[in-house]
Structure 1
Amino acid sequence: MSSPERGWSAAHVGDYRKRVFHERDVLTRALGEARAWQQRVLHDLLDFNAGTAFGREHGFGRIRTLDEYRRAVPVHGYDGLEPWIERMAAGERNVLTADDPVVYFTSSGSTGAHKKVPVTPRFMRTSFFPFFYAAWASMVEHHPDVVGADAVLNLKQDPLPVPKLTGDGRPHLGASQVDFGAAFGEPLSAEPGTSARWAALPVEVAADDHLEKAYLRLRLAVEADLRCVIGINPAAVAALPYQLTLWWERIVREIRDGTVGGRAVADPDPARAAELEALARRFSPVRPAHVWPNLRVVFCWTGGVASLYLPRLREDYGIGVDVLPAPVAASEGPTAVTLDRHPRAGSLVVTASVYEFVPADLPIGAGAETLQAHELEPGGEYQVVYSHVGGMYRYAGGDVVRVVDRLGGVARVEYAGRATPSDAVGERLRESHVVGALSTALAESGLEVRNASCRVAGATRRYEFALAPYTPWSGDETTRIGERLDAALRARSAGYDSARVQGRLAGPELTLLDADAFQRDWHRRVAEGTRPAQVKDKLFRQDQADWERLVGAREGED
């Protein structure tokens, strides 16, 4: 196996450690003066962008308080900013921001439409980089050996040699595809694993052949002594054990022959191939923990649907492996980052954005009444509205967070799901309702799932759940968990309970899938051209074709 410290020099590692710890310390100290920081962030975005078209139209130059800002600027989603963004992307300057975008992040959003999120130097310097560096501090502090280039498999990395361009000639691509060092002059911003020998593939692959790229990186990483897997998106982390099984024979053959993607560009390694064959004789299936016995860290989102399957998935990566939470953030801006060793929740990044919140069950729109961070209640769930200097003004991104507790007097939150409810007959069932109910029903039944999705099924007007159990369930167990799920949904959602009482909804129906059903679905979506970083868990699947693709597929169809 290769050395875990091949890529970064000792000096680079030392500088990187200093930077991530410094940014974490700054954000931690800021919690003690959170309200002052929120006022400072508001003044900065108003003063810096007062002369923009948006700033002039909304009177930024006259606003000094949050209440004045609330009255001047409506709460809106991407649709409300899209006309302004399109003007920027066409080449008009000084529209939303006083400095020009360097790139536009793409985001699929909940509708699948590709957004253009302008990314400016001022936003990156004041809002993005502080939380971005701080996010790695816990991993670097408690697992120092993972920082080396050949110790980390970064599943989110996807360099794009020829990105699409907007009308103003700026790259339009995913955040994981941007070289922050080259674009923004931040040489320390390269994530762990982005200098590994599998980060730059030794053979040419079509830019949209994402499955082959995933295979090639895995084939190269199997020869190394991995200490960490970075997924951010937990669906990619869940897919990796399945990929080992799916591609096992090809990987072993290529390691023995010294080929990568069928081309002789590596040294043959019959000894490592023999080790792998011995593993396959001992374990069925072979898991990441077997291939990489020194693996210690998985870094990904831990909330939402992933909370149902990560506890057991962790075992595939090894006994005692830490699953560290990635920040609560979107392409449009940061919300929270973990500043200690909490397994799920992070503190609001009070230096990055002005945060407002709307209770999750209330409709959100132009005139929505919002709460400030100090008004949030532990246990409450809220839609996040944020404003920052990069042009996102009172932007409702559609995420719901749950307040876990307070750290330094500031709310600490975890991701609870998307805000858009499933609402066939007025039940307004949110993702967090369903995930919480499933968690309760599974815990009461002593059962576990690898993943879950649901929909409102046709004329029957009942929720149909597609579940992939870890072990087979008997008929009685399936019936009992269906009953407990129904009861838990009624307890969590007044709308669902009302719909059940009034007969507008029948009780849920469970469809049990085989263990790999969700992984096969993930592979199909990637094979159809979606980048792995954007293939997320889908709890609500009302599209008929999408549902049939999940529940109708059978083993051996990959």
Structure 2
Amino acid sequence: MNVKSILARPFARHIYNKITRGMETAVADQQDIFKSLIKTARNTVFGKDHGFDNISSYDDFRKMVPIRDYEEIKPYIEKIKEGKQHVLWKGKPIYLAKTSGTTSGVKYIPITNESIPNHINTARNALLCYMMHSGNVEFASGKLIFLSGSPVLDRIAGIPTGRLSGIVNHHVPRYLRSNQLPSYETNCIEDWETKLDAIINETIDQNMTLISGIPPWMQMYFDKLVERSGKKVGDLFPNFRVMVQGGVNFEPYKAKLYESIGRKVDCVELYPASEGFFAFQDNYREQGLLLNTNSGIFFEFVPAGEIFNENPTRLSLAEVKEGENYALIVSSNAGMWAYNIGDTVKFISTKPYRLVVSGRTKHYISAFGEHVIGEEVEHALMKAAEEENVKIIEFTVAPMVEQGKGKSFHEWFIEFENRPEDLGRFLEKVDDNLRAKNVYYDDLITGNILQKLKITPVRKNGFIDYMKSIGKLGGQNKLPRLSNDRKIAEALQEYL
């Protein structure tokens, strides 16, 4: 055990105790953050436009500051890009995080002096909590992969601009720099396949102890390692003990990832976004992510079925209930106000406030009024896969609208690691599971409005090739689980 591992233990205990105390004060912390945000932004352009001088309570805020998506906050972002100050937050942002949205094209999200610690410290806190629960501090002595987008930043109105992961790369603590892989030069490679080959070259003979990334990226990395070495990842890296993942639901990828490793490793889940680091798994042995209630972000929650209503119900943290799906709304010290993240979450505990990400507000199927969401399709598929001993690599679902009663259906595009012995039986199980989760879908099947779903197998690496064809292979890019149209479905026809 080297010096880093020895010093990590008391620091982990200090941070863990602080986080544990924060579980008891979450609601009060949220109230304090709300007051601080309003006070600090009172003299900004946004604050003056929305009467912050007259906001003294959350009720006032709900009345005076409507929920908005990126297109509605974009005019303020444009002022920042023109070089104006005090627009959404005091002064100017220190960065603009560039991200590609599913509906708004390229988005620019401000990061301020006050908000950058949220992005940097939350991942650190998750690992320190892991140390406390597992007793494993040795991984801090080995090599750690923190995959990022290119750390080369452009400038807009003098503000450094780039992918969030590339921005965060500049803030990796100095004591971890010697452990970090891949190298800065490799992280600067833009082409994903070239970059992945370089990462393999740099890591294949190293003492890798922690690997982090979104699950589809890790699977591509593992596949290349196995192909190059002829070994399981766990044999190639005998001291590999911790996998850190987030960005998509882990369940559809878990079985294949562990098979590639050849053994179980501890897994820590994170919930980061360009708009903030919202939650993290504080105990790797328990389900759910601890909401980041004291990190400069004020959270609101809208019942998922109301998010597109003109005047939806808006709830503070104190008002949420376990087991209900909510659209996540944030206001932050980066200057995002009543901002619809586009995610839905569900609390599995309110003492403390732990949640799971259940889907995307704009990724759903409701071509026939069924409003099927991501959590439901993932549950339906993975339950059937477990029962039939089938491994799923990737999938997406789209509606097929046909003329005539009982002719329309949901089409599931699935890349299998191993095909079901009886595809018809597998299909029946998936359909039954979805009907059990979604009463509207069940009614449509029972009423002969819809046929049962159909499965269209996708060839090996078909989804990778599709993402490559649209310039979204690798990094933090994710395939939508659900579409309410046939755009992705039509594009996948050449990958069947």
Whether the TM-score (by the shorter chain) exceeds 0.5 is yes
Give the equivalent residue in structure 1 for 2:124: 133
Which protein, 1 or 2, shows the higher relative CO under an 8 Å CA cutoff with sep ≥ 6?
A: 1
2:293 and 2:380 map into 1 onto residues whose CA distance is: 32
Q: Which amino acid aligns with 1:324?
A: V
Aligned-residue sequence identity (percent) comes to 21
Aligned to 2:427: 482
1:367/1:361 CA distance change after superposition, 3 Å: closer
Q: Is 1:160 aligned with 2:104? A: no
**How far 1:245 sits from its partner (Å)?**
5.0
AA at the equivalent of 1:244: L
Shift of 1:108: 1.8
Sort the Cα spacing of 1:37 and 1:235 in 2 relative to 1 into closer, same or farther, 3 A: same
For 1:326-345, list aligned pairs within 5 A: 326=270, 328-345=271-288
Is 2:212 the counterpart of 1:222? no
Q: What CA distance in whole angstroms lies between the structure 1 residues aligned with 2:178 and 2:201?
A: 16
Distance 1:535 1:189, change over 3 A: farther
Q: Secondary structure at the match of 2:433?
A: helix
User: 136-145 vs 69-78, which deviates more?
Assistant: 136-145
Query: Structure 1: which amino acid aligns with 2:245?
Result: C
Aligned residues: 488
- Structure 2 Cα separation of the partners of residues 20 and 106 of structure 1: 32
Contact 1:153 1:193 in 2 (8 A): no
> What secondary structure sits across from 1:351 in the alignment?
coil
Q: Is 1:317 matched with 2:261?
A: yes
Any idea what the Cα deviations from partners look like across 1:425-470, whole Å, max 9, x if unmatched? 2221111121122233334444332222211135352111122333
Question: CA offsets, 1:256-286, max 9 Å, x none?
Answer: xxxxxxxxxxxxxxxxxxxx4xxx3xxxxx3
Q: State the Cα distance separating 1:524 from its structure 2 match.
A: 5.5
Structure 2 partner of 1:370: 314
Rounded Cα–Cα distance in structure 1 between residues aligned with 2:465 and 2:185:
20
Could you tell me which of 380, 391, 397 is aligned with 1:454?
397
Q: Supply the AA of the counterpart residue of 1:234.
A: P
The answer (yes or no) to whether the contact 1:293–1:318 under 8 Å persists in 2 is no
2:383 to 435, 440, 452: 440
Give me the whole-angstrom Cα distance separating, in 1, the residues matched to 2:344 and 2:392. Answer: 23
1:502 is matched with which residue: 440, 443, 447?
Answer: 447
After superposition, the Cα gap between the structure-2 partners of 1:21 and 1:53, relative to the gap in structure 1 and judged at 3 Å, is: farther
Aligned twin of 1:241: 222
Identify if the C-alpha distance between structure 1 residues 480 and 497 changes in structure 2 by more than 3 Å, giving closer, same or farther: same
Letter in 2 for 1:411: Y
Query: Which residue number in structure 1 is paired with residue 161 of structure 2?
Result: 172
Distance 2:12 2:109 in 1: 25
Contact 1:75 1:367 in 2 (8 A): no
Distance in 2 separating the partners of 1:542 and 1:100: 38
* Residues in 2 aligned to 1:217 and 1:379: alpha-carbon distance in whole angstroms: 41
SS in 1 for 2:28: helix
Q: For 1:394-543, list aligned pairs within 5 A.
A: 394-406=338-350, 409-420=351-362, 421-459=364-402, 460-474=407-421, 477-514=422-459, 516-517=460-461, 520-522=462-464, 525-526=467-468, 529-530=471-472, 532-541=474-483
User: Equivalent of 1:351, from 290, 294, 297?
Assistant: 294
Contact 2:303-2:313 within 8 A present in 1 as well: no
Further displaced range: 483-492 or 73-82: 483-492
CA distance in 2, matches of 1:130, 1:179: 11
Match of 1:62 in 2: 54
Letter in 2 for 1:472: R
Tell me, yes or no, if the aligned pair for 1:209 and 1:527 is still in contact at 8 Å: no
Deviations 1:147-168 (A, max 9, x none): 24x52223x223433x2322x1
Q: CA deviation at 1:17?
A: 6.0
Aligned to 1:34: 26
- Note if 1:384 corresponds to 2:328: yes
Supply the distance in 2 between the matched residues of 1:342 and 1:113 (Cα, whole angstroms): 38
Report SS of the residue matched to 2:453. Answer: strand
Change (3 A) 1:299 1:130: closer
Partner of 1:45: 37
SS, match of residue 71 in structure 1 = helix
Which digits, 9 at most, give the CA deviation of each residue in 1:480-539, with x for residues without a partner? 12112222222222332233233332110112335x43xx53355357643622221431
- Tell me, yes or no, if the aligned pair for 1:104 and 1:118 is still in contact at 8 Å: yes
Give, in whole Å, the separation in 2 of the partners of 1:48 and 1:164. Answer: 29
Displacement of 1:102: 0.7
Instruction: Write out per-residue CA displacement over residues 229-267 of structure 1, whole angstroms, 9 at most, x where no aligned residue.
Output: 111x11111212222355x2xxxxxxxxxxxxxxxxxxx
Cα pair 2:182 2:202 within 8 Å, conserved: yes
- Which amino acid is 2:223 matched to? Y
After TM superposition, the structure 1 stretch with the greater mean CA deviation from structure 2, 424-433 or 133-142, is 133-142
Q: Partner letter of residue 427 of structure 1? A: E
Separation in structure 1 between the aligned mates of residue 94 and residue 247 of structure 2, nearest angstrom = 31
Question: 2: distance between equivalents of 1:453 and 1:481?
Answer: 16
Question: Hey, which of these two has a bigger chunk of strand by percent?
Answer: 2
What SS does the corresponding residue of 1:533 show, helix, strand or coil? coil
Normalising by structure 1, we get a TM-score of: 0.80
